[in-house]
Amino acid sequence: MLRRIGTASVLVIALAACGGGSGAAGATPTGGKAAPPAPTTQSPAQSQAQPDPVARVLSKMSVEEKVGQLFMPVLYGTSADTASGENQARYTAQTPAKVIAKYHLGGVILFPQNVKSVGQVVDLTNGLQRASKQVSLLIGTDQENGLVSRMSAIMTDFPGASRIGATKDTDLSRAVAEATGEELRSLGVNLDFAPVADVNVNPNNPVIGARAFGKDPKLVAKMVAAAVKGFADAKVAATAKHFPGHGDTTVDSHTGLPVIKHSKAEWERIDAPPFKAAIDAGVDAVMSAHIVFPKLDSSGDPATLSKPILTGLLREKLGFKGVISTDALNMAGVRQKYNDGEIAVRAVLAGADLLLMPNDLPKAYQAVLAAVKSGRITKERLDQSVTRLLTLKQAKGLLTEAPRASAEEAARVLRSADHRKLAARVGG
């Protein structure tokens, strides 16, 4: 499970991941033709197919490492080696690098407290990747643009989804997502928790509002699909959120537990179309909502902990095969009935793959590990989630080679003239 620390820019790594570059299989000198393959003396029985890269990495991971892949906490500090009392108090390890090593983390999410300057963020993401010895990290953030823009201190100020939706121009939606992705990737961020796929049908919604593309399911679906394609163009993972739909609520799931009273037919007509469109467009991840949806699951548990919703609807009915991420597990909407360890276990049992921002990482990690060792979470179920996460990393060129961002490239991309012109076209 060794991996090389790349010395090329992110752009070169991305090209290599999709088959470009001089090291690609079948590459030839400029203007030349590929030489014929060397003859083989192996019989068909001797020539067995090698395991794919994901299976090969998975086979070398311990149970502890597999469990760690599921977690994406927020870490404190502006460099991988910043000693922080907050890290010590929360994770019993002082620096981000030590937290990554201690819990074998699969990912880290960045917030404004991690962002001071372009060069500093590049050094941070490179340092975080170096700290992950087994498999490269998913480094994520919430860069929806508009109201939720964690990297706004250094990135182009693009308008939010509602203003893009008002243009009804899917090309603009795709272009803004691609430009956002390019800026994130230049900083070493490879996953964005965007776009918002909720349909804002309730004018009193305190948490979605202008974060959504609008109130028309068909328009939102088109805009979401275009954004997903834009992020794919930039080779950054996109996340449609918040499944099964957070648009019709008067309660903020950060502070309470919303209940959505749509019938199943209303869900099919109002809430589902943008998620279906995102899946059809190839979205990498879907984030769950901490909402109770009685007509989809009568248990009273929020969707994040609901197997009928995450597995029954999202996996089986809509056919989604990518990564299911929870919304932040420190939010009040998911912490009404269970402790922090049980929440993590139930999220996995419901169908989640990525456990975002657990309120108590040590407790959550140990609870999931104990559940696997006891058989409550089967090893097969754990392997399903880890395989999806590794598959996403492979798709983004992260599996066998640690990406390395370049401060020079980031300075060229961030707030470029083209990106500022694009923001102005939308009305920013």
Q: For residue 294, give the amino acid letter.
A: P
Phi-psi domain of 150 (left: phi exceeds 0; alpha: psi -120 through 50; beta: other): alpha
* 305's tokens: 């902990």
Q: What is the pLDDT of residue 43?
A: 43
Helices (H), 147-271: 161-167, 170-187, 217-233, 264-266
Residues recognised as catalytic? 254, 327
Q: How confident is the chain (428 residues) per 10-residue block, as mean pLDDT? A: 39 33 32 40 48 92 98 97 96 97 98 97 98 95 96 96 97 98 98 97 86 97 98 98 90 83 95 98 97 95 97 98 97 93 98 98 98 98 98 94 93 97 88
* Helix (DSSP H) and strand (DSSP E) numbers for the chain: 17, 12
Whether the CB-CB separation of 194 and 223 falls below 8 Å is answered with: no
Q: Return d(Cα 195, Cα 199) in angstroms, integer.
A: 12
How many C-beta atoms lie closer than 10 Å to residue 92's C-beta? Answer: 12
Q: What is the pLDDT of residue 16?
A: 32
C-alpha distances (whole Å) from 399 to each of 69, 74, 157 are 12, 22, 31
According to DSSP, residue 116 is labeled S
Q: What is the pLDDT of residue 50?
A: 61
Q: What is the pLDDT of residue 26?
A: 32
According to DSSP, residue 316 is labeled I
Q: Which domains does the chain have, with CATH numbers?
A: 70-420 (3.20.20.300)
Give the CA-trace dihedral at 334, 338, 340, 342, to 10 degrees: -110
Q: What is the pLDDT of residue 402?
A: 84
